[in-house]
Amino acid sequence: MNEEMNISMDPDSLYKEEMYTDRKMGTIRILTPVNSDGSIDPEREVVYIGQAQLMTPMGALPLAFDIAATSLMDAVSNYPAEAKKAVENTMNELQELRRQQASSIVIPEGGAGGLPPGGGKIQF
C-alpha cells in the first residue's frame, strides 16, 4: 500500500459507552456524548444500541440495531420490537443475497451441454 494511512479520532464525536445485559436475550449499549475533556455533552443525544445473535446453520450471526429511547428502561421496553425488526431485515437481506447468488449463473456463448455455438446467449 503506497498511500499513507490517516488514522485519527474525531474529538468532537466522542461517546462514553456503557453496556447492560440480562444474560439471556442480549445487550443494550448506551453511548453518552462527551466533550474531549470527558464531560457530558448536553448538545448531543444519548444513543441506545441493541445487540443480539441470530443462530444460523453457519453459526451465530451478530445483530446490532438502534433503539429509539430516552432512558435505559425505555430502551429495555423497546428492545423486543427493535430486535424483531433487525431479525426481519437480516432475513430479507439474506434472501436477497441468495436470490442474487442463484441468478449469477452464466452460460458461455460458445455452447454448453450440446447447444450449438452461439446458441447459448442466455445470461443472468
Compare 111 and 96 and report the one with higher pLDDT: 96
| One-letter identity of residue 57 | P
Domain boundaries, the chain: 14-102
Task: Give the pLDDT score at 22.
Answer: 94
Percent of all residues in the chain with a pLDDT value above 70, rounded to a whole number: 81
Q: Distances from the Cα of 63 to the Cαs of 5, 26, 93, 117, in angstroms?
A: 29, 10, 13, 48
Pick the closest to residue 44 from 31, 54, 56, 53 (CA basis).
Answer: 31
CA torsion, points 94, 97, 98, 101, in degrees to nearest 10?
-160
Mean pLDDT confidence for 44-66: 93
State pTM to two decimals.
Answer: 0.73
Residue 122 pLDDT grade (very low, low, confident, very high; cuts 50, 70, 90): very low
pLDDT in tens, 13-54: 999 999 999 999 899 999 999 999 999 999 999 999 999 998
